[in-house]
């Protein structure tokens, strides 16, 4: 008989909804991936490096050229200097990066604070390390941190706080003032930070992303995680990275080397080339996705859904209270997929205890214009 180490974990809602969309022929706005191609120059670089024989193990820490490009991008974007050799580690995806960071410092009995709604990989990673998640609910209207609730949740067992900004699923951002408040709260405590910033370049309306990377005090105790998949439209490449101070990087690498050892070599070569040759890609990304957000929201303006335009990520939350208040969000997502041909994600799955009466589903707008138009046409007749 198998005694499961994750007895409460099943197939993720993302897999379930994508499978249902495929079965029913619905437009899949559930799982967060683009339906358009990556830049051609990036794809061409992969083929070139495969043909040139770059098909063996890369260094465990990541290809040096790629780590140097990451360091250069951080300097341009955030105005801070990180050591490519001792502070940057390339991983097979951001999810693995978060897993390794948690395994590196969490021991049996430790508590990790997560903010609900929170991404579904955090808690299993904590449980596998022998820790326990303590859930603190974000504000219902703006998904901001309630610092009174956070202070109440901290105990002598608290060893880590997981941040996520831009926030999935709400798209909310975090401010410098909030980071300052967090720093003051944990200043005299032995608490680490994992800052999940995979949507760092998907921020809109001229508002900058505030990163833990340029908060000197918090960075000294932080693992900052990002994703090439989100930034370069290649989610299937499963390539990300972690930036952390040298002592934390050393502990993370001890775990990483026994989880995967290294990332995929030709993909790292291609990303290094593309980052060096096309630094403008990152600068243009906010405008690229803001145009998609605005198109999608404009198309939904005549629908019965209510919403506030998201400030980050490529997800839009919509409230269906005026359409089917009799359905909870899981029922609504299934009904929309089966009866109206558009797949979404119910928000309650991101909570330990969903707020009573909340009627929100998440829609992904990282899609071609024709996909967004077709989906919006279906949503507007509901």
pLDDT in tens, 17-42: 999 999 999 999 999 999 999 999 99
Residue 11: pLDDT above 90? no
Q: CB pairs under 8 A, 24+ apart, for 139-142? A: 140/355, 140/358, 142/172
The domains located in the chain, with CATH, are 11-36+280-379 (3.90.1150.10), 39-276 (3.40.640.10)
Q: For 53-106, what is each residue's pLDDT tens digit?
A: 999 999 999 999 999 999 999 999 999 999 999 999 999 999 999 999 999 999
User: Could you give the CA distance from residue 173 to residue 168 in angstroms, rounded to a whole number?
Assistant: 10
Q: Please give the pLDDT value at position 48.
A: 98
224-247: pLDDT as tens digits: 999 999 999 999 999 999 999 999
Q: What is the reported pLDDT for 220? A: 98
Please count the other Cβ atoms lying within 10 Å of the Cβ belonging to residue 275. Answer: 22
CA distances from 299 to 159, 268, 302, 340, 372 (A): 45, 38, 7, 16, 8
pLDDT higher than 90, residue 172: yes
- Looking at every residue in the chain, the average pLDDT score rounds to 97
Q: What is the pLDDT of residue 1?
A: 86
Band the pLDDT of 130: cuts 50, 70, 90: very high
Q: pLDDT at residue 146 above 90?
A: yes
Average pLDDT over residues 177-189: 98
**Is the Cα torsion angle 20, 25, 28, 33 positive or negative in sign?**
positive
């Amino acid at each position: 008989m198998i005694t499961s180490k994750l007895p409460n974990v099943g197939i993720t809602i993302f897999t379930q909804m994508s499978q249902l969309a495929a079965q029913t022929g619905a437009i899949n706005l559930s799982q967060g991936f683009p339906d358009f191609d990556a830049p051609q120059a990036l794809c061409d670089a992969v083929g070139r490096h495969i043909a040139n024989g770059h098909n063996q193990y890369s260094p465990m820490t990541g290809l040096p050229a790629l780590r140097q490009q990451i360091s250069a991008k951080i300097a341009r974007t955030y105005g801070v200097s990180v050591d490519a050799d001792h502070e940057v580690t390339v991983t097979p995806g951001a999810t693995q990066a978060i897993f390794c960071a948690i395994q590196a410092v969490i021991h049996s009995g430790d508590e990790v604070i997560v903010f609900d709604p929170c991404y579904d990989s955090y808690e299993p990673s904590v449980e596998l390390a022998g820790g326990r998640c303590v859930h603190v609910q974000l504000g219902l209207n703006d998904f901001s941190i309630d610092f009174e609730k956070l202070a109440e949740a901290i105990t002598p067992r608290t060893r880590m706080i997981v941040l996520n900004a831009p926030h999935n699923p709400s798209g909310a951002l975090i401010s410098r003032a909030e980071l300052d408040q967090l720093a003051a709260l944990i200043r005299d405590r032995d608490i680490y930070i994992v800052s999940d910033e995979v949507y760092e370049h998907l921020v809109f309306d001229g508002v900058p992303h505030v990163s833990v990377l340029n908060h000197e005090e918090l960075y000294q105790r932080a693992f900052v995680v990002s994703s090439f998949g989100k930034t370069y439209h290649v989610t299937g490449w499963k390539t990300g990275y972690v930036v952390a101070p040298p002592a934390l990087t050393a502990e993370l690498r001890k775990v990483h080397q026994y989880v995967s050892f290294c990332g995929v070599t030709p993909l790292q070569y291609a990303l290094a080339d593309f980052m060096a040759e096309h630094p403008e890609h990152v600068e243009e990304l906010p405008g690229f996705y803001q145009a998609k957000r605005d198109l999608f929201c404009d198309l939904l303006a005549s629908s019965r859904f209510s919403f506030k335009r998201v400030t980050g990520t490529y997800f839009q939350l919509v409230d269906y209270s005026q359409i089917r208040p009799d359905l909870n969000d899981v029922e609504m997502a299934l009904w929309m997929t089966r009866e109206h041909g558009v797949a979404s994600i119910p928000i309650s799955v991101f909570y330990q205890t969903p707020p009573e009466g909340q009627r929100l589903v998440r829609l992904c707008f990282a899609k071609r214009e024709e996909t967004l138009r077709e989906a919006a046409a279906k949503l507007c007749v509901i």
